Structure 1
Amino acid sequence: MIALLLTLGSSLAYGCADFLGGLGARKAHVLRTVLVAAPASLAVELLLWPVLGASFSTATVGWGAASGAASAAAFVLLYRTLAIGPMNVLSPATALVSAALPVAAGLLQGERLTATGLLGLPLALVAVVLVSAGHGASAARPARTALLPAFGAGAAIALQLVFLHQAPSGSGVAPLIVGRAVSSAVTLGAAALLRRRLGPERPAYALSVTAGVLDSVANLLFLLAVRNGDLAVVAVITALYPAGTVLLARGVLAERIHRGQLAGLATAAVAVSLLALT
């Protein structure tokens, strides 16, 4: 139950971070938003160091760096996918891969599910796809060239989670600190290379900082969850983070929740209830 609550908190924090980061990216180039969010995220993790501890063993640094590199790759591929579109079709593909691969990794590592878990897990995967799909998802067909970055983005997100899970359980927040440092360095490098394309707009500092803080909270809760539960269950519930984004968009921006997304939210509720019984 502790792992489930931590995972739900992680999923909600990821969804809120994406929503605020998306709002920030409307006001300035997304790299400008990330350049503000990344230091805020790193600051949170450094502040947690004295509280939760950090052990920088070789394994911890290696897995943390791998998670940071995967996070940076996910960022590049995800926004490449957004640029190609149609995102209402590609987003569910990305979400499904990001959920399914950690589930497979957990099961291959010997995790076992109860009967309710075996019912809840596929339901959760269905919910991930439904919640991620936008209006008219069946009306547009993605080009083959768009599917590759979409699947790549999902795989990179999945690898980030799997690598965090592989970090030694006694390492505290060290994997998060190393991962954030690596992803921040990659982002800074990308911004330097693309500085002429970033435009003159100033980032929305408050939105960007809050998004960065929430992203760190989400990563921390995920790390604590997988240290107390199974990767297969934790990863698939975490992948339901678009639900938080959809609900915030409805409450703040008055965006309509479509029938498929409503079905996804209902399916998610059933799936989480079943997984709570595992």
Structure 2
Amino acid sequence: MIALLLALGSSLAYGCADFLGGLGARKAHVLRTVMVAAPASLAVELLLWPALGASFTWASVGWGAASGAASAAAFALLYKTLAIGPMNVLSPVTALVSAALPVAVGLFQGEHLGAAGLAGLPLALAAVGLVSAGHGARPSRPSRTALLLGFGAGAAIALQLVFLHQTPSDSGVAPLIIGRAVSTAVTLAAAAVMYRRLGAERPAYGISATAGALDSVANLLFLLAARSGDLTVVAVITALYPAGTVLLARSVLAERIHRSQLVGLGTAAVAVSLLALT
């Protein structure tokens, strides 16, 4: 139950971070937004160091760096995917892959689910796809390139989660600090290379920094959930993060929640209830 609640908290924090990051990216190039969010995220993790501790062993540093590299790759692939579109097809594809791959890894590593879990897991995967379905009347068919990029983005997100799960349970926030430092360095290097194409617009500093802070909270909650529960359950619950984005868009921007998304929210509630019984 504790792992489930932590995973739900992680999902909510990821959803809020994505929503605020999207708002920030409306005002300036997305890399300018990340140039504010990434250092803010790293600062939060450094502030958590005295409270939660950090053990910089070879395992925690290695797996942490791998998660950071996967995070940077996920960022690049995801935004390239959504730029090609259509978003309302590719977003669910990315979310489902990011949930399904950790499930496969968890089962391969010997994790077992009870009857309730076996029923709740496919429902949760279905909810991920329904909740993350984008807007638009009739989705067009994505190109092969867009689909491959979508699968790549989902796989990179999944690898980030799997690598964090592999870190030693007594390493504290060391993997998060190392991972964020690596992803920040990669992002800033990309921004330096693309500097002439970033435009002159200033990012929304407060919104972008808050998004980065929430992303750190989400990573921490996922790490704690993965250390106290099964990856098969934790990864799927975490992948429900589009629900938080959808609800915030409805309440703040007055965006319409589509019927499929409402069905997805209800399905998610049933799935979480079943998984809580495992």
TM-score clears 0.5? yes
After superposition, residues 1-278 of structure 1 pair within 5 angstroms as 1-136=1-136, 139-278=139-278
Give 1:134 deviation, angstroms.
1.7
**What are the superposed Cα offsets for residues 234-274 of structure 1, whole Å, 9 maximum, x if unpaired?**
00000000000000000000000000101100000000000
Deviation at 1:136, TM superposition (A): 4.1
CA distance in 2, matches of 1:138, 1:229: 39
Give the AA of the match of 1:53: G
**CA displacement at 1:139 relative to structure 2:** 3.2
Contact 1:9 / 1:218 at 8 angstroms: preserved in 2?
Answer: yes
- RMSD, aligned CA: 0.8
Preserved contact between residue 125 and residue 236 of structure 1 (Cα < 8 Å):
yes
Helix, strand or coil: the match of 1:227?
Answer: helix
Where structure 1 has 5 or more consecutive residues not aligned to the other structure, the ranges are none
CA distance in 2 between counterparts of 1:137 and 1:243 reads: 20
Code of the residue aligned with 2:172 in structure 1: it is: G
Which secondary structure does the structure 1 equivalent of 2:49 belong to? Answer: helix
1:44–1:253 Cα change, 3 Å: same
> Deviation string for 1:96-146 (max 9, x for gaps)?
100000011011100000100000000000000001112347531101111
Aligned pairs, number: 278
Can you list the C-alpha shifts for 1:43-79, whole angstroms capped at 9, x where unaligned?
A: 0100110100000000111000000000000000001
Does the aligned pair in 2 maintain the 1:21–1:208 contact within 8 Å?
Answer: yes
Cα pair 2:88 2:139 within 8 Å, conserved: no
Q: Distance in 2 between matches of 1:78 and 1:51?
A: 33
CA contact (8 A) 2:128 2:264 kept: yes
TM-score for both structures, normalised by structure 2: 0.99
1:134 and 1:5 map into 2 onto residues whose CA distance is 26
Q: How many percent of aligned residue pairs carry the same amino acid?
A: 85
CA contact (8 A) 2:86 2:139 kept: no
Q: TM-score, normalised by structure 1?
A: 0.99
Q: What 5-or-longer segments of structure 2 have no aligned partner?
A: none
**Equivalent residues of 1:89, 1:137 under 8 A apart:** no
Which stretches of structure 1, 4 residues or more, deviate above 4 A after TM superposition?
Answer: none
The 1-side partners of 2:137 and 2:128 are apart by 14
For the residue of structure 1 that corresponds to 2:228, the secondary structure is coil
